[in-house]
Structure 1
C-alpha cells in the first residue's frame, strides 16, 4: 500500500490515479494508523510553502512523518510543493521546512536582459545526475516532465542532486538521499515519462 499524504494542499487525485495505473495500491489519508501501515509514502502538493507547512502542523502530521521517514526510513516521494517541503527553508515563506534534505528554495530571478516568465510552467528536459535507486530506469530518453513552479531547489550538499534542468540557467529539479526522493516536476502530469517513474517507485525504489 502507498499512502498519499492528505493535508489539504493539492493534487492528490491525479497522484492516486497514476499510482493505481502504475500497479500500486494507493490510499489518500492523514490517518496515523494507515500511514504507519503503508509500505511507502507520497507527499504531494500545490500552493504556498507556509500554508502547506501550517496544514501539516494543523493535522498533526509533522511528528509522525518525521518518525516514519527519518527514524524508520520508510521510502517517500515528494512531488512539487511536497518536494519543496522536504528542504530546510524557502524564500517563499517564514516557516521552516521539514529539513529532511540539506537544501533551500529560492525564487527564479531572470538575469538582466533575459526574458523569462515566472512561474516556470510547461514541459522541460530533466537530466539525471545519479542512479537514484532506479527511479529513472526505463524512462524514455531524453526525459521530459511537466513543471509548474516559481521557486527552485538549491542543494547545499551536491551529493543529493538527482537531476538537473535548465530554465534561464541550470537548476536542481530532483534530489535524493537514502529513502527520500524529491521531484520538483509533476510525474503524474507527465504521461509515459511520469508513469514509468511511478512504476519504478511502486516496484523498485527502497533507497538510494
Structure 2
C-alpha cells in the first residue's frame, strides 16, 4: 500500500488494512514504514499500536538503526502527543528490560518525564530492571524518579538505585539523600539500606549521611 493511498482511507479502514498487512508480513518489510509511523503517532486502535510497536522492535533488532531511534523518540511526550502510543511503547520497553535488553533505554529515560503517572511508572520499572542487570546508564532517569509526585513511582526509582548501590555506583548518593526524606516509610527504608551498602563499600559521603541521620554504621 502506498502512503498516498493510505491517506485516502478512513481511520477504520486503515487500521483494518494495517492489522491484516502486519499479520501477513511476519516481520518482513512489506509494509510501508511511513504508513506505520503515521499510525504510531495518530492511531487510537490498541491492536494496531501493539502490532506496529512489535513490528518496529523486530526491525530495530535486525539492525534498522533509524527505526530503533524513531521508536525510542516516540516514547517522548514532547515528540509524540499520542498517549496510547507512548504507553504501548513504554510497556514493550519494560518487557524488553525484564529480559535484560536495553533496546528501549533512551525511551525509558524520557518516559520518566511523562505527564501521565502510569507512563512514568512503566518507564521507572523498566529502568529499575535494567539497573538490576548492571546498566549504569539508567542513573539519570532514576535520579529524576525519586522526585516523582507518586509514591509508588518513587519506590521503583529507589529500588533501581539500590540495585546500582550493589554495583558500587557512587553517583546514586543525591537520589538516596532525597529518598531518606520520603513520606513513605517503605521508600525511606530502601534509601537507608542503599546508603548502608555504599558505606560498607567505603563511601565517606554515605557514612557522613548516615551519621547525620543518627543511623548506626
TM-score (norm 1): 0.28
Structure with greater Cα Rg? 2
| Greater RCO, CA 8 A, separation 6+ | 1
Higher strand share: 1
